[in-house]
Amino acid sequence: MTYIENNRVSLREKDFILLCFFSLLSFTVTQIVNSTTSLFVDALGGTATYSGFMMFAYTAAALIVRMLCGKWIDRRGCRVFILFGAVSMAVSIACYNFFPILPALGAWRFLQGMSFSLISTAAGVAVANTLHPSLLGKGISVFSLAHSCATTIGPYLGLALIFGNRFYAVYWTAAAISLVSVILAMNCSFRVNEQTALLQKAARPAQATEGEAPAPARKAGIRGGLGAYLERSAVKPALVQLIVCVSVSSIVFFLPLFASDKSYADAGLFFVVASLAMIASRLLVVRIIDSVSIAAILIPCMLGGAVCMLSIAFIANTAVFLAAACLYGCLHGICQPTLNTAVMSIAPIHRRGVAMATFFLFVDSGMGAGALLWGRLIDLFGFTVVYCAGAALLLSNVPLLLLLRIGRHSQTAL
């Protein structure tokens, strides 16, 4: 059953607030595991290549689920997928302590990929549905602050708890946080904003009445089949985000390993500074996202991100290392919510689940491919080559943004 709330143009709604805190906890758990897995693998005798393989297992699961869950969410709603994803996330993390062996880690990462793909896709759709269409850009930007805060809390908490190789403390804490997120989700009603509900109803194809000829069937074949699971309008912004994710995965997954050999580099402090910059930049995005073109917002971010990568690669200095953290935070803080808003505003309103799944399908592909690629290159050539390559990827997005001309339109009109 779909619940419809009164049409209030405000972000101060119970469901919106609960979903923000739910995502904060879920993303924190993911960041804890992502930032400590390479160190855990290293402690168990594995290599950076094996750490990359762990992320590949995570991504493979996410890709499989993304292909299906968008259509499921559009049909059945968000609640069941959010709850199932949060519970299975807690179980998969607890298994790190029950079976701390290298061959088993791939299975746990696979389950985590499935869980997080369900959580992130369903939560994004639930937030978009609970917002009045006129608040879509601002609401998604505020919602994305949960991810910003998680990138501070997650790595910092994970690296703090790991002191003295206490990996068991890291993963019991992460599992407990995941269970708390389940409680928050259970208290959310998942109501749909009245205006959004009306737009969704109007956008769905009319059902044939008795005695009428049925609507023409969808185009058969591979192209028609994929169209049910992928939203074409989401591909352009998702492609830009994929390139960003391939690049920044070198920081997300391997910066703690990089910093462990550098006396000037504190990975925990890097992520704290980055997240503060991320929060500040997203507060800026809230103000300008509806009045400035996407290219004008993102091109400076790509340039700053490239400077960040090159600074990490060549300058062994604490001040420069933390300045790079600020640039990395701004890249993360501005890029994803801007492109996510574009996806939600361009996509047909009755296919938001599929559009969100398509966007995160590219996100997961980028993170997984990057982890696998960079892990191997680190073992072969070292960190300098990896961060130079990451900078080159971000610079390639500048002409791509000018070529694609990604835009937005309002969902208030059909």
Q: Which long-range contacts (CB under 8 A, 24 or more apart) does 393-399 make?
A: 393/243, 393/246, 393/247, 394/243, 394/244, 394/247, 394/302, 394/303, 394/305, 394/306, 394/309, 394/331, 395/302, 395/303, 395/306, 396/243, 397/240, 397/243, 397/244, 397/298, 397/302, 398/299, 398/302, 398/303
Mean pLDDT score of the chain, rounded to an integer?
80
Give how far Cα 210 sits from Cα of 203, 204, 205, 207, Å.
21, 18, 16, 10
What is the pLDDT averaged over residues 217-245? 72
Q: Helix, strand or coil for residue 5?
A: strand
| 123 sits in which H/E element | helix 102-130
- pLDDT tens string 58-73: 878 877 887 777 778 8
Output phi, psi for 231, to 5 deg: -105, 115
DSSP label at residue 78: S
pTM attached to this predicted model: 0.68
CA angle in degrees (0–180, nearest 5) for 20-23-25? 115
Q: How is domain 11-202+229-404 classified at the architecture level of CATH?
A: Up-down Bundle (1.20)
Q: Report pLDDT digits (tens) over 39-55.
A: 888 888 887 778 777 77
Give me 173's structure tokens.
């804490």
Q: Which residues pair with 192 in a beta bridge?
A: 4
Confidence class for position 351, pLDDT limits 50, 70, 90: confident
Q: Averaged over 390-409, what is the pLDDT?
A: 84
